Every structure is written in C-alpha cells, then in structure tokens.
C-alpha cells in the first residue's frame, strides 16, 4: 500500500465571503463570480463543511495589495467605477482594463475579497494552524504588477506567495 493514509485527519480551512456572488462582470462575460457562491452552496448541501473550518476573510487593504502591485494601479482600481469611465479612459488603456477586464460596480472590493482570502490562507499556513487552505474566491493569477489580464485585476496568488515566503524558503 502507498504512503497515503486513508481518513487522515488533516486540518482544512476554507475562506468565503457571501458577497462575492454579487459582483457582475457584465452581460456575456465568461467570468461569473456567482459560480463561487454556487460552489459554496454545494459545500454546504453535501456536508463538506463538517470537515473544515470556514472563515470570512478580512478584505485585503491597499498596503497589502501594493506589496506586489504598483501604487498607481491600485489607486486606479479604487477609483474605477462605471460612472467615471470617460474620465479614466487613458488609465484604462494603460492598465489594460476594458473588454476582457471590464470596470464593474464594486471592482476594488472584489479585488479586496479575493486577495484577502488568499492572504488569510497564507497566514494560517504560516502559523501552522491548518494543513490545507482553500480560497475559491481567489486564484486570479493573470493580473500583472501594473495591469489587469485574463479577467484578473489583483494577483492574489503572488500576494499569498509573498506572505508564505516570510516563513518558508524558495
């Protein structure tokens, strides 16, 4: 038999905020944060929640986000709302925000939730308070230092790795 033990008692934590399903990239866009909410309901309805600790993460703060992203990019994300698109046109081009990565209501808050979950998961791992950490609100790894890309605005994966590197070698 292999070295994997059946029914091992691993500590699992899961980060979720119920407001994540309220964000909307727009009609016809393939990215649908409501799917995260649907996955959460499956976790509840299938009883998987009994095997993990569920946490609501704190939103990532500006200071957290600029550990990877540039200050001008994060400031732009804070200011970008559908009502002021015309005044931000040059910045939208500069930061690759448009069709693939549209501006929508609550964009910055969405980034805060996504990144906050991954940062909290990394901290929990660093403190050895869990063996497995899950943040299905995250995984938005296409975002670049000063640019949105592939439906991703903040790169929660890089932020989580930077947190893990505080305690773990490369």
Q: Which residues pair with 8 in a beta bridge?
A: none
**Is 60 within 8 Å of 109 (Cβ atoms)?**
no
Q: Where are the alpha helices (DSSP H) in 51-129?
A: 62-65, 71-79, 89-94, 107-126
* Confidence check: pLDDT of 1 > 70: no
CA 169 from centre of chain: 23
β-bridge mates for residue 147, sequence order: 144
| 38-62: average pLDDT | 97
pLDDT at position 9 is 87
Q: What is the pLDDT of residue 98?
A: 93
Backbone φ, ψ for residue 78 (5° rounding): -65, -35
> 107 near 77, Cβ under 8 Å?
yes
* From 7, 29, 142, 168, active-site residue: 142
The full set of domains in the chain, from first to last, is 12-164 (3.40.800.20)
Of 97-101, 112-116, 123-127, the one with minimum mean pLDDT is: 97-101
Quick one: pLDDT at residue 169? Answer: 87
Mean pLDDT of the chain: 95
Global pTM? 0.92
Residue 2 has pLDDT above 70, yes or no: no
pLDDT at 38: 97
Annotated active-site residue 7? The verdict is no
pLDDT in tens, 77-91: 999 999 999 999 999
């Amino acid at each position: 038999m292999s070295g994997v033990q059946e029914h091992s008692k691993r500590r699992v934590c899961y980060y979720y905020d119920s407001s994540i399903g309220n964000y909307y990239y727009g009609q016809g866009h393939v990215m649908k944060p409501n799917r995260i909410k649907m996955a959460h309901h499956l976790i509840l309805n299938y009883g998987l929640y009994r095997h993990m600790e569920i946490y609501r993460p704190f939103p990532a703060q500006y200071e957290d986000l600029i550990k990877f992203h540039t200050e001008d990019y994060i400031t732009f994300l804070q200011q970008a709302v559908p009502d002021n698109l015309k005044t931000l046109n040059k910045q939208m081009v500069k930061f690759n925000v448009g069709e693939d990565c549209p501006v929508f209501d609550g964009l910055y808050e969405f980034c805060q939730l996504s990144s906050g979950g991954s940062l909290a998961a990394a901290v929990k791992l660093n403190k050895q308070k869990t063996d497995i950490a899950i943040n299905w609100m995250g995984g938005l790894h296409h975002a670049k230092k000063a640019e949105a890309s592939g439906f991703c605005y903040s790169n929660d994966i890089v932020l989580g790795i930077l947190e893990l590197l505080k305690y773990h070698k490369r």
